[in-house]
Every structure is written in C-alpha cells, then in structure tokens.
C-alpha cells in the first residue's frame, strides 16, 4: 500500500484494554500506512475515549487534524461547542459494544425472571414460582442501536413493549404499569436525572430497572430511597453517578445488583475496537478526495449530525 503521510495519535487508553493495546493499534493501523505521531499537535487523526478531556484537548489541538475517531458509544464528555465549531468529522463507535451491552441488559432481565436453580437432587414438587416474561410490560428508554436490539429481542417474549426517545419520535414517556424499565439512552439534557422519585413512584410494585447506559440518567439518591422503601423493586446497575462507587456504598440494599461498568467489555473487545478503527480509516483514506461520500457512509455515527435536529442531544 502506498504511503498516506497520515499520522494518528491515541489520546487516552481505557483500563479494560490490554497492556499491549498501544502496540497492537500501531501494528494494525500501519497496515494502512498510517504511522503514530509523537504528540497530538503532529497528528492528522486523533483517537479519543470517554476519559478524554475535550476542553484540554481543544486548547492543544493541532491545525492538521482531519478526523477524530471516538470508539465509544458514550460521548457526553464531548461538549456541543467543540462538535459545532470543528470542521472535521468526529466518528463515534456505537456499533463496537452494541451487542455486548444488549446481551448484558438481556442477561439481567433473564436472570431476574427466568433464573433456574441448579439442583443435585430431584425436587418432587417441581416448583418454580416465577413471574413470566410473557406477562410483563416493558419500557425502553433510548432507541439507538442498543434500544433497537432490545426491542427486536424482547418484543416476541413480553406482553407489551414501548419506547421513549424524543430524538427518534418516541416522545411520550409513560412509566405507569411498566414492569421492566431498560435504559439505553445517551446522557444529555433530556435524559439527565430522568429517573427520579416521581418516575419511580409511578412504577408498579415489583418492577425491574436495568441501567447499562449512563449513571447520571438516574438520580441515585432517589433510587436508593426507593429501593429501601420498596423491597419488591429491583435494580441492576452497571453505571453510576460517580465511578468507581465507594466500597459498601450499597451494602444495605439487597434488591440492588451492581457491576463495574463492564456491559460492553468482552474477551475480544480490543479486536473489535481495532477492526472499527481500521474500517473507518480505510474508508476515510478511500474517500479523502470526496469527504461527502465518507460522511454519508458514516452518517449515523457522525457526531455533528446529533446537532442537526436538536442541540440538546449533546450537553
């Protein structure tokens, strides 16, 4: 492959990535004749993540930047002003973890409603006092890639399923009589603090809440109070207002099930990230002479497009 003269700079590495990820990334992208830059001011392409401080990044942004790849589905650390003012595309990595996060949410639902105990001796009563999924009414908040996958997976299995996403024309939020609430929304001005006392108190007894989206969609103090006051209510949280959460912070809540922001993590996550970066950069190189073709190809992942209908989509 002929040289592209392009250089990339990886701004941040996440703790769940392997210790040799940087070397793997350099090796992978070198197949496109893209070489690593020694600092971000020399880079044509920046690769960021949810730990990146974009305000600091903006202060030292090189004039050569032609593209930012943000291989994460969460982008609430990217200010709307940054997106609006830049004339280069920012491509988000929503597809990378979509299946993993969907599987996590589904695993919580099935564990809660359909978990079968392992028995070493025959139970003559053959008792399984469970509540069927077929009798549950589901509300999905957020109808992006993950919300769509949840809808497709659960709609044949449950009594009813509805959605709330004001950016996808699902504008009615009605938690009444909803037995299962699944959060799959991005964090923005319409979703921050959405799950509060008013919302929780409208749910039926014994409802289930699963959040693998963003911690600040839930008013955590309101949720903790609701969990204490309503022992039949259950919540599965993978994300929190403050991370990491403190040791024993939730030890008195037996109806709260916590994991450590792992929903999108899998054995092959590094490979998925690298394949995504390679594909985006390969298409970027192919369409450098006509950037509109590139932007059309990646339209759902171009962050500036989130500003086109409602600027509150980004914080």
pLDDT digits (tens, 9 = 90+) for 102-116: 999 999 999 999 999
Q: What is the dihedral of CA 60, 65, 71, 74, to 10 degrees?
A: 50
Given this model, what pLDDT does residue 190 score? 87
Under 8 Å between Cβ of 243 and 216: no
Q: Which of 77-86, 151-160, 266-275 has the lowest mean pLDDT?
A: 77-86
The confidence band for 2, taking pLDDT boundaries of 50, 70 and 90, is low
Under 8 Å between Cβ of 7 and 37: yes
Percent of all residues in the chain with a pLDDT value above 70, rounded to a whole number: 97
Tally of CA atoms within 13 A in the half-sphere of 156 that contains its CB: 3
Q: Which residues neighbour 249 within 8 Å (Cβ) at sequence distance 6 or greater? A: none
Given this model, what pLDDT does residue 289 score? 87
Given this model, what pLDDT does residue 22 score? 95
Q: Which of 72-76, 161-165, 214-218, 257-261 has the lowest mean pLDDT?
A: 72-76
Given this model, what pLDDT does residue 62 score? 81
Peptide bond before 49: cis, by omega within 30 degrees of 0?
no
Given this model, what pLDDT does residue 1 score? 46
Given this model, what pLDDT does residue 309 score? 55
**236-256: average pLDDT:** 96
Given this model, what pLDDT does residue 307 score? 79
Given this model, what pLDDT does residue 185 score? 96
Given this model, what pLDDT does residue 314 score? 63
Please name each of the domains of the chain with its CATH number. 6-95+267-313 (3.40.50.720), 98-114+131-258 (3.40.50.720)
Query: Could you tell me which of 93, 127, 97, 86 has the C-alpha nearest to residue 278?
Result: 93
Given this model, what pLDDT does residue 312 score? 57
Given this model, what pLDDT does residue 107 score? 98
* Average pLDDT across the chain, whole number: 94
In what helix (H) or strand (E) does residue 47 lie, and over which residues does it extend? strand 45-47
């Amino acid at each position: 492959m002929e040289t592209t003269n392009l250089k990339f700079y990886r701004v941040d590495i996440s703790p769940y990535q392997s210790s040799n990820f940087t070397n793997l990334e350099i090796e992978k992208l070198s197949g496109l004749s893209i070489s690593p830059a020694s600092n971000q001011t020399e880079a044509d392409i920046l690769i960021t993540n949810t730990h990146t401080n974009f305000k600091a990044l903006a202060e030292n942004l090189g004039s050569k930047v032609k593209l930012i790849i943000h291989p994460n589905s969460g982008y609430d650390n990217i200010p709307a002003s940054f997106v609006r003012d830049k004339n280069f595309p920012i491509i988000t990595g929503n597809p990378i973890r979509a299946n993993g996060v969907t599987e996590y949410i589904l695993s919580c639902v099935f564990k809660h409603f359909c978990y079968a105990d392992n028995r070493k001796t025959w139970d003559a009563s053959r008792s399984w006092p469970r509540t069927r999924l077929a009798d549950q009414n589901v509300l999905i908040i957020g109808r992006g890639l993950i919300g769509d996958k949840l809808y497709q997976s659960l709609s044949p299995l449950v009594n009813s399923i509805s959605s709330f996403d004001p950016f996808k024309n699902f504008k009615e939020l009605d938690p009444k009589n909803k037995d299962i609430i699944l959060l799959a929304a991005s964090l923005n001005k319409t979703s921050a603090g959405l799950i509060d006392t008013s919302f929780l108190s409208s749910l039926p007894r014994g409802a289930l809440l699963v959040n693998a989206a963003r911690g600040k969609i839930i008013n955590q103090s309101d949720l903790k109070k609701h969990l204490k006051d309503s022992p039949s209510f259950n919540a599965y949280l993978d994300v929190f207002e403050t991370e990491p959460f403190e040791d024993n912070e939730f030890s008195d809540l037996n109806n709260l099930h916590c994991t450590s922001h792992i929903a999108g993590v899998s054995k092959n996550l590094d490979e998925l990230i690298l394949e995504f970066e390679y594909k985006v950069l390969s298409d970027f190189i192919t369409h450098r002479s006509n950037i509109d073709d590139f932007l059309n190809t990646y339209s759902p992942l171009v962050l500036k497009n989130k500003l086109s209908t409602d600027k509150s989509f980004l914080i």
